[in-house]
Amino acid sequence: MCGLAGFFGFNNIQIDNVTPIVRNMGAAIAHRGPDSSGIWQDNSSEIALVHQRLSIVDLSPAGYQPMESQSKRFIMVFNGEVYNHLELRSKLQASDVHINWRGHSDTETLLASIETWGLDKTLKMCIGMFAIALWDRYDKTLYLVRDRLGEKPLYYGNLNGVFVFGSELKSLKVHPAFTGRLNRDAIRLQMRHCGIPAPYSVYEDINKLQPGHILKLKRGQEPQIHSYWSLDEVIISGRTNPFVGSEIDAVNKLDQLLSSSVRQQMCADVPLGAFLSGGIDSSTIVALMQAQSNKAVKTFSIGFDEAGFNEAEHAKAVAQHLGTDHHELYVSHKDALDIIPKLSSIYDEPFSDSSQIPTYLVSQMTKEHVTVSLSGDAGDELFGGYNRYFGTDQWWNKINRLPYWVRNLTAKGLNSFNPNFWNNIGSLISIFVSNNARFKNFDHLIPKYANVLSSKNGSDLYRNFVTHWSEPDIILNSRDLRTQLTSSSFKTESMVELMMSLDTVSYLPDDILCKVDRAAMAVSLETRIPMLDHRVLEFAWQLPLSMKIKHGQGKWILRQVLDRYVPKHLIDRPKMGFGVPIGEWLRGPLRDWSESLLQETRINNEGILNNELIQKKWKEHLSGRQNWQYHLWDVLMFQSWLEKENNEKAKGTYFNQHSMECV
């Protein structure tokens, strides 16, 4: 895990200033790689690269970057890990190519593979997470690459003839060509979906490279972008070649695949551990780690005093059963609130998934003990774990028989009651229903179900499930952009599978993986996600939906794997999620901070947000009539980010275009 940056095309930059500029670009993301820094530049070709290293594999200078291939044709900076690099190295050694290995880093293996087999073939052979900038000296061509599922970030943009790129926007902002023009259309997406999805960013001239894609660029030409892996092809292949064994065979196969993935991802030359919430996903990963380790695995959990948000006791019970070296941290609302001022800097652009707070806190604690932590993310997307999947097909088929005007009117009626009313109803129902998990937190669930009723079709149904601000004019003078949610046409066999596929290409990379990467890298912690081994994902799409969702319960096959290692009574409980009581905090300890950011005169003077819509929701939330916590958090995170942005511009902390130093 590291950070990379650079630029291609010097334009009017004096040669003597190239090194200071690229050094500043690296320094801006030193948290991603505090162990060492390296620069490479070719003035004749007008290319400069910088790398910030977090040493994980081969801690010696033999693993330093930028790294040159054996023939000196390729220069590369690389962020991430190739977990099967030893297997690739064995294949290379068995070939006719003679390689003088300098060390045992995956960077060196990756370079040798590219030189031997070519970039596209090498990427298809790699198992891992990565963002790559590769310079081909022979063809004078720059390649940017992002891993299949988007675990590692990569930004790029053409700024007046200078092509800049980097792991985070911080690097690009210190380049003298950076302008910082806001993209109102992208901000509109953040209001809807918590974050800004690829290929967009909060700035007009900057994009994110989409997962599974390669960008190719020659001087004086437009970038050429193509995919080397796509979920659509995986789905088609899975349906063409479905798994044909029994349920037991499928469980055995998944156990084998996950064990292999965990084993590869446990390889490191630094201390390693795992996040443990006590849920199905993280418990499965930790169980497989402990089963393959000859010493107690270090595990980490975070707890809250609020019962509805605390999973620490469950995690502790799982840890005790597995015999891990468990660490937990209970945090007060003050501990969590102290993080909020840092969020706009950590995430670089407006990002409003409130679980960013506990994610940062658990990363911070984990870094005190280890340098690498495995995570259980992606189990929901692969194996049908989100509540919105359960019964969707049957329910949608029934309600779709009703005229749209009837459904829409009913939805408005449901939304007219205040949250306390629905919570009281839920509590009453739970008294008489044995499996009462579905009837908790009705104030959150009813608006979602109301959105289902008002949906016009299947795609509209999914977008309603994952949309916060549906009002088109929440961002003034903005328009809708095409995204994976509006342009994907997955050939799935059910509504549930369509939702799972859309989650995999949108919610997973643009929210979950972004959240984890930025929070962990802010404290120089590498995170690894075994379930995102593409072999596991491809196997998941060979399975019938009945092996994922059964009897109204998700992740059936994953539960069967976990049952081999952890007793059911330690796991069977309502799905809780990884959140904080934002709604209560906005009415309490966060109220003053919120009101300062939501001042009517302030919003009107900024001229970006629809003040009338925001004030209405803020008043309704304060009164308890409605719970608008997620909508308001979207606005507050944007306002907090905008405040930081305006302060940077006012103080001149953008790169001074008339100087070669950050001022």
The answer to whether residues 566 and 322 touch, using CB atoms and an 8 Å cutoff, is yes
What are the start-end ranges of the H helices in 241-332?
247-265, 280-291, 312-322
Helix, strand, coil % over all residues of the chain, rounded to 5: 50, 15, 35
For residues 296 and 457, give the distance between their C-alpha atoms in angstroms, rounded to a whole number: 50
Determine the Cα–Cα distance for residues 65 and 108; give it in Å rounded to an integer: 10
Q: How far is CA 48 from the centre of its chain?
A: 28
Own/partner contacts of 336-341, CB < 8 Å, gap of 24 or more, are 336/304, 336/361, 336/580, 337/585, 337/589, 337/590, 340/590, 340/593, 340/640, 341/640
Q: 2, 126, 194, 514: which one is catalytic?
A: 2
Question: Facing residues of 331 across strands?
Answer: 304
Q: Are 620 and 628 a contacting pair, CB within 8 Å? A: yes
Q: Which residue in 579, 641, 643 sits closest to 347, CA to CA?
A: 641
Three-state DSSP state, 291: helix
Of 340, 332, 327, the closest CA to residue 368 belongs to 327
Q: Encoding tokens for residue 591?
A: 């109220």
CA distance 150 to 104: 25
Of 424, 356, 394, nearest to 194 (Cα)?
356
Sign, CA dihedral 259-262-266-271, equals: negative
From 307, 380, 325, 422, select the one nearest 555 (Cα to Cα).
380
CA-only gyration radius of the chain, Å: 25
Q: Decide if 647 contacts 639 (C-beta within 8 A).
A: no
Quick count: other Cβ atoms within 10 Å of Cβ 414? 15
Kindly provide the b/e burial profile for residues 196-214, where b requires at least 16 CB atoms within 10 angstroms of the residue's own CB.
bbbbbbbbbbbbbbbbbbb
Q: Is 126 a catalytic residue?
A: no
The residues annotated with a catalytic role in the active site are: 2
